Amino acid sequence: MPTPSTRADEFYETGCQNRKGPKTAADYAKVMQRSHEAAVTVDSVTIFGLCRTRDWLVKSITAKLRAAKTFDELKGAAFQSRDQMARHGIFKEIDVELDRNTEHGASTGGVAVTINVEERGLLGGKVRMDTTAGEARGLAEITLVQPTGNGETVSFSGSQSTGDSSTVQVRCSVPISDEPDWAVNFGAFQNKDALLASHAVQQNRGLFSEYKTWSGFGQHLLRYDAVWRHLMAPSEKASFAVREEAGHSLKSSISHIATFDRRDSDGLGSLYTLQNEAAGFGGDCHFLKHTAGVTHRTDIGHGCVLRLSCRGGLLDPLPAGKIMKTLAPTSAPNVGPVAQPHLVDRFFLGGCTDVRGFATRGIGPRERDDALGGDAFIAAAAHLYTPIPIERLREQNDRIRCHFFANGGSCVKTPPGMSVRNKAQTLGSGFAVAVGAGLAVQMTDTIDLELNYCVPVLYGATDSPWQGVQFGISLGTL
């Protein structure tokens, strides 16, 4: 983040008794200390460059800057104001300038704050490539940036992969306050996923709405989904268990996603995620689904970084109509039998971006060659990133690092009604483990492009180990 211009430093230095300037480093430190602690009065805050943006979206900026009482407080408020405006995602450039107020009648120690912004164009777009689940994928997006001037964005996006997976989505995001962490999102989507590990194709069409907010603990997202799903098993290789799941289903669910990010600008620190989903507000899917994860990255010296990750989840089927009967005891229909979780709602584990050393969805229950997923899983990993030992290569590109890892996990399907303790014991008895080494290219602070040689060391009869070279993108979650 660029440092706000602070020509006011010069103004406060000339106001000191030592008019000829400091003669020693100690004198200079005293001068700077006095200047930073000097009382200030913000006489004016002017924002240039607002064309479509409405005033209410930046109104709190003025209040924060005017509340500053010392020069240090003013500089801190300038940084916070710039960050707040940047996180709205509607400005290309933001420059904050602090200067002495030279207008006639200005107060003693008065400061004029000038904010110069450049708004993003009304129409934007991007095209990129990535990989997911071992497939190459191309994505394109067209965005309308605040067409009404209220900070909203409307995006039209689509993607197509080499494995016949595709996505089309329309999404609108509207801020509900001048704080960028408070917003309402809604839209519609259609996607088609080739579930190669299960010899099936899944097509979803749905609507969603989201409420995004923030607390002292982190970011929260409350989401409602209404999804019409169609599972097809066109392949002759599909097992009977997959064909039995084929057909249409309707899921109506509410989810809460909490993200607690304690990482610094270098990606070091901890990231905690917690997600809970309740399905059964209509439709024919009835369950409670819980997942949690934690990732910690730390610098252990000599250019080496250690990353530790752990994830887990539980899927509890509910009797049909249980949630609606609880909400409306008199008008809702009677509660039916326990509904078994659908194939597409279960947990899957394994792959080049998940538990390395195993095929995609290669850990857990299977029938013939089809992954069936489970209702409980746990996974953990330890990664060590070190500089490349060849100095010439290290000097040319310090983003390429050696990568050593050990990871493992378990994914099981349990009978309805089993206690959490018994599920934990079942998970522990079916743990799969792999180790490996390779190269990692640091794309961002949290995303790496990996090329590893993997060696599975422990696995069960239904697991699909992958000994050899694996390539993929690590999102830093495991």
Residue 214 CB partners (closer than 8 Å, separation 6+): 179, 181, 182, 220
CA distance between the termini of the chain: 29
The least confident of 101-110, 135-144, 398-407 is 101-110
Read off the tokens for 459.
């696995």
User: How far is the C-alpha of 403 from the C-alpha of 407, rounded, in Å?
Assistant: 13
Average pLDDT, stretch 158-182?
Answer: 88
Instruction: Give me the pLDDT at residue 30, please.
Output: 52
E strand residue ranges, 284-399 = 287-301, 304-317, 366-367, 370-371, 376-387
SS3 assignment, position 72? helix
Cβ atoms of 199 and 369 closer than 8 Å: yes
SS3 assignment, position 262? strand
Read off the tokens for 212.
């995004």
Sequence-ordered alpha helix ranges (H) in 166-312: 240-245
Residue 17 CB partners (closer than 8 Å, separation 6+): none
> Quick one: 219 exposed, middle or buried, by C-beta within 10 A (0-12, 13-18, 19+)?
middle
User: How far is the C-alpha of 261 from the C-alpha of 74, rounded, in Å?
Assistant: 27
pTM score: 0.83
Share of the chain above pLDDT 90, in %: 45
Residue corresponding to tokens 């270098």: 266
pLDDT band at 277 (very low <50, low <70, confident <90, very high): very high
Cβ atoms of 410 and 337 closer than 8 Å: no
With residue 408 as reference, give the H or E element that holds it: strand 400-412
Average pLDDT, stretch 63-80?
Answer: 85
Average pLDDT, stretch 81-100?
Answer: 88
